[in-house]
Chains A and B, each alone.
Chain A
């Protein structure tokens, strides 16, 4: 859904660098969800955030990955000391409440680690 904006669309990093992916939810939405898609795989849930709170990070790797959704500004998924296995498409979705319907994804950020 064009209403969920992600940037950058493409990001190249060398091993050991940091990657920051941003997600601006649809207007009026305060719930954000991040999913990761490895090459030729389905999407896997990473984290669910509300404004200033992490609600569920059960899908997030324990190390090097963090997410935030500040009171002002976009949600950020941060990957420190990237490794080649982090190369993937990272998709964000949003909802006005804890949704019970479908997910509307942004166009994704495609991370390539050299």
Chain B
């Protein structure tokens, strides 16, 4: 079955440093989504990428979708303590284009030292 791998599993940075997490799928994805989960919280949707080679920015966050639509990355510039949490990528495995059955990576836990 489809597998979604994320690296690194953990990342500890000093506040102000940059952070990147990488996501790789065993199969081509119709789209990829990113979620953030604060410790003890629930996953919160960040963004969805659909097009090959797509790049989207949200303030200090930059998301990329690979040309082959099998990999993606999330880059955070100048991390802040509010960025702490686990970042998950997820790709759909449902049929007919439905997104309801997502395969999630195991996530990257980001901790930030103030």
Contact = CB atoms under 8 A, between A and B. Distances in A.
Given A91-B43, A107-B42, A108-B42, A48 B88 contact: no
B85 interface: no
A101 interface: yes
B82 interface: no
Chain A interface size band reads: 20 to 34
B101 A59 contact: yes
B48 interface: yes
B104 A99 contact: no
DSSP majority for the A interface?
loop
A24 to B, nearest CB: 15
Given A42-B106, A42-B107, A102 B33 contact: yes
A99 B102 CA distance: 12
B98 interface: yes
Given A40-B106, A48-B100, A103-B102, 20 more contacts: A33-B100, A42-B88, A42-B90, A42-B105, A43-B43, A43-B90, A48-B101, A58-B101, A59-B101, A91-B42, A91-B43, A95-B100, A100-B97, A101-B99, A102-B33, A102-B45, A102-B48, A105-B42, A106-B42, A108-B42
